[in-house]
Structure 1
Amino acid sequence: MHEQQTVLPTATAAPYSCSRPLPPCRGIIAVDAKDFTGLPAIEHEAVSRAVPDLIRASLDRAGLAELWNERRFPASTGDGYVLGFDPSLMPFVIHPWLLTLQEVLTEINIHALGAPPIRLRVSLHIGPLPDTGDEFGGNGTVRNDTHRLLDSRPVKAVLASSKENVTQVAAILSDRCYQDAVASGYTGRHPDHFIEVPATVEGRRFAQRAWIHVPLPSGPLHDARASGDAADKGLGAAGGPGGGERPHGSEGGRVSNRAPNGNINTGTVHGSQRVTVTSHRRDT
């Protein structure tokens, strides 16, 4: 009689206890369909199946079929899709793929009578991720942050404020993705096509610098900083936008100057001002 052997997980060293090689660097795409949960339940499966098909078709049209064919740790998220890829392709993902995805969605939404329109948020990131080739691959901080960026206030606000008949795609790039692929000049889009935002997520302890890109903007494409939960309030350690040190002699916003036999002003004073005039009497 055979006894079934239980395979125990492989023991690994605790974090920070010894040095180990980094996992390979991967680009990562995460996509979510706007207002998915608001659709009738009968339409959920159809949209879930359509999203990866849209990604595949748009990558193929953009000349990036190899990215789809060689994708790493792909997974459906119900209302979206996630996949890893060779990070050297990230400049082409930013452009022309995002614009091509916009074009494909426009065609689908115009001609798909009776089907719900699909508008997508896209998150792009770069970083080290374990790539074991099985269902557990691709898990790590980079992937977690990619999904947080996808759920962040600025990208949701930008897509919601755009015209649904024009803008089908809004993308958010991590700062590393932007610096590596856009600011460096490798992407065929000028940095002026991107808006810097503080990415925050409601109910989550998450705040990162990120960049919004909308391939075909419409409506009030406002500076999405306003949707970042005012994360850049109080810039400058001394209290107040613009920062800088308080004037000498300031106390909690009040400025006190001393001027013997007269008064002086040293510039614009915010708050109240107290001037003490001291008279010196000479004995004769």
Structure 2
Amino acid sequence: MSDLPVPTASPYSRSRALPPYRGIVAVDAKDFTGHPAIEHGTISRNIPQLLRMSLERSGLDELWNDRRFPNSTGDGYVFGFDPAAMPFVIHPWLHQLQDILTEFNVHSNGVAGLRLRVSLHIGPLPDSGEEFDGNGTPRNDTHRLLDSRPVKAMLAASSENITQVAAIVSDRCFEDAVASGYTGRHPDHFIEVPATVEGKRFAQRAWLYIPAPSGNLYDRRILGDHVVDDQQKAVPQERAKGRRGGKVIQRADHGNVNSGTVHGGQHVSNVGGDQNVSHVGGDQVGGHKVGTVHGNLGDTVQGDKNTGSR
């Protein structure tokens, strides 16, 4: 009769030493399942090669050579490392990864480009050299951050010609490596986001870092209302009021006016109570403005805009 597996440790029964702290990096390819099946194997092989090359260009050869509990996830890759290297992983490595993906995509000869989401975290994980090392809450949270709405939405909303990398940094990682001043990037390069995963009981404060940003970084659909409001409070008063001039006139005496990209003349007046009348390009629209507004907007507004407060 074969020996039974070792039972799991009973939590909360006695004190034990914490496992060693490890930095964790996980990456995922955007729209992996959208690629034809014949390309999946090639993408899976290319991702660790691109990680290795970008780390070498960053002077982090040893980090790759000494990586802990490495594992391919098919559409991505994950490994642990000495957390002392985390400031260098944030910068310059993320920037080098952006550059090498740009170079790779330029020479991909018509094949769909490779764009990556990156998640960075720090925490205690078993690391004794055995097969199932690296499993624990910090590892789980790293993957949850990687699948969270803000980093997915940011990469999707940005230009595929410019932004090849979107990184999300856990709050612990940000406090230890960025806010402390050890990373060669000012905290203002990072954007606070509420990280949530659809269908999962997961909600954490985290930070987006985009080495080559494009598009609208302060989109309510990505960052959440309270984050955008905080960002807007930091904008000088004259910018908060918007740019005046040209043929664009906006008034909101008793309501709100959407801000966005306007071509041609526009005049919008909200007249007290529930009576809203708009003149846009010579057309008169009566009643409430309901539905999706297309343009460079902060959010989508539905219903009576004079009811309640955000």
- Bin for the TM-score computed over the shorter chain: 0.7 to 0.9
Structure-2 residue corresponding to 1:94: 90
2:114 and 2:198 map into 1 onto residues whose CA distance is: 24
Aligned 8 A contact 1:153 1:228 in 2: no
**Structure 1 residues 158, 130: closer, same or farther in 2, change over 3 A?**
same
Number of the residue aligned with 2:59: 63
Deviations 1:20-45 (A, max 9, x none): 00000000000000000111111111
Q: Is 1:180 aligned to residue 176 of structure 2? A: yes
Within 1, Cα distance between the matches of 2:60 and 2:226?
36
The question of 1:104 aligning with 2:107 is answered no
Cα gap change, 1:222 to 1:57, in 2 (>3 Å): same
Q: Spell out the pairing of 1:1-284 with structure 2 (5 A cutoff).
A: 5-223=1-219, 226-227=221-222
Q: Deviations over 1:176-215 (max 9, x none)?
A: 0000000000000000000000000011111000000000
Higher RCO, 1 vs 2 (CA within 8 Å, ≥6 residues apart): 1
May I ask how many residue pairs the two structures share in their alignment? 231
In 1, distance between residues paired with 2:15 and 2:118? 34
Q: CA deviation at 1:232?
A: 7.6
Deviations 1:55-114 (A, max 9, x none): 000000100000000000000001000000000000000000000000000000001103
Q: CA RMSD in A?
A: 2.0
TM-superposed deviation, 1:51:
0.4
Q: Deviations over 1:222-273 (max 9, x none)?
A: 25x632566889xxxxxxxxxxxxxxxxxxxxxxxxxxxxxxxxxxxx99xx
Q: What is the CA-CA distance between 1:157 and the residue it aligns to?
A: 0.7
Contact 2:80 2:134 in 1 (8 A): yes
Moved over 3 A (4+): 228-233
Residues 193 and 224 of structure 2 are in contact (CA less than 8 Å); yes or no, is this contact kept in structure 1?
no
Supply the distance in 1 between the matched residues of 2:223 and 2:126 (Cα, whole angstroms): 31
Is the CA contact (8 Å cut-off) linking 1:26 and 1:129 kept in structure 2?
yes
Q: Given the two structures, how large is their TM-score scaled by the length of structure 1? A: 0.78
Rg larger in 1 or in 2? 1
Hey, what's the Cα distance between the residues in 2 that align with 1:166 and 1:229? 24
Say which SS state the counterpart of residue 53 (structure 2) adopts.
Answer: helix
How far 1:219 moved relative to its partner?
1.6
- Cα separation, partners in 2 of 1:142 and 1:194, compared to 1, 3 Å: same
2:227 and 2:191 mapped to 1: Cα distance?
Answer: 14
| Partner amino acid, structure 1, of 2:121 | H
Quick one: which amino acid aligns to residue 122 of structure 1? V
Q: Against the structure 1 CA distance between its residues 231 and 83, is the aligned structure 2 distance closer, same or farther, given a 3 Å change threshold?
A: farther
SS in 2 for 1:185: coil
- 1:115 shift after superposition: 2.2
Between the aligned partners of 2:48 and 2:182, the Cα distance in structure 1 is 27
User: Could you list the runs of 5+ residues in structure 1 that have no partner in the other structure?
Assistant: 234-269, 272-284
- State the AA in 1 paired with 2:213: P
